Amino acid sequence: MDDHTRCYDTNDPLDSFKLPKGRGGVSVLWPSQWSSRIKKLKDGNERIIAILITATKDICLINTYKPTHNSDSLSEYTECLDIIFDIIQKYENTHTCVLAGDLNGTLQTSRTNKHDKMLRNFAKNMNLTTGVELVNTHTFFHHAGNSSSQIDYILVQDENLVMDYKIEERSCANTSAHTIVKMEIASQMTKIRKSNQQNNKAKYKMQWEQIDKKGYNSIIQNSITSIENEKDVNIQLDILMEAMTKAGKN
């Protein structure tokens, strides 16, 4: 499996009184054989990631974990909506946009906190819909039983894309406070064939005795600055791999 993952507390200062970093975030996973058809985007922030999927209908998939509603969450929630707006505006002319995740706001009119109102206005303005008529089936259940609500969604701009939409029943095997939300869309990954040339490609061992070790070390050291300035671990890895490849050819 391959993935695109970010943790929302990546930039938070370490605090011995809190849980360690990585306690929450967003992630998209896919079979490794699809990776040639998927592009990770730099767009977003610690709560929002996006990928482009090349398929029979090209998809821009945006995954988000919105801030929980509290007295000072409005500014961060607004910022997340602004970022999602920018991503949709950037790619909607070339891709069908799909927004998925824990939106920490409901489209149901039975609840009216500030997050709910902002989310409903945003969905209306961006023509985002589940593609089906949803009953008031809840997707979140507080561990202590204090509350439950429908806050997890998969939304599309083109309702013709939706073949099926389902909110799973609660299961004892699911230890999360959230149930599973599934959508089947009218787009398919075309069959990916591995060429014989790729399968039979020779693998070579680095001949260190013939390498300019000083030049190799210089290239790696120069890349470290770029890595330290980059916060996204996926991009950090890409920079390192590119530097090692370049150094090996030096």
Q: How many residues does the chain have?
A: 250
**Averaged pLDDT for residues 135-163:** 90
Return the half-sphere exposure (C-beta side, CA atoms, 13 A cut-off) of residue 11. 7
Segment 16-62, tens digit of pLDDT: 555 555 567 899 999 999 999 999 999 999 999 999 999 999 999 99
Burial environment of residue 194 by CB neighbours within 10 A (0 to 12, 13 to 18, 19 or more): exposed
Backbone angles phi, psi at 26, to 5 degrees: -130, 145
Pick the range with the lowest mean pLDDT from 143-152, 159-168, 202-211, 231-240: 202-211
pLDDT confidence of residue 185: 94
Q: Which amino acid is at 58?
A: D
Cα–Cα distance, 208 to 205 (Å, whole number) = 9
Q: Provide the mean pLDDT of the chain.
A: 84
pLDDT confidence of residue 206: 56
Please state which of the four CATH numbers 3.30.300.30, 3.60.10.10, 3.30.1360.30, 3.40.710.10 is assigned to the domain occupying 2-185: 3.60.10.10
Domain boundaries of the chain, sorted by first residue: 2-185, 202-249
Q: Decide if 45 contacts 78 (C-beta within 8 A).
A: no
Q: What is the pTM of this model?
A: 0.72
Handedness of CA 64, 65, 69, 72 (dihedral sign): negative
Residue among 2, 34, 44, 6 at smallest CA distance from 22: 6
Residue among 186, 17, 18, 33 at smallest CA distance from 98: 186
**Sequence-distant (≥ 6) Cβ neighbours of residue 67 within 8 angstroms:** 47, 73, 76, 77, 80, 104
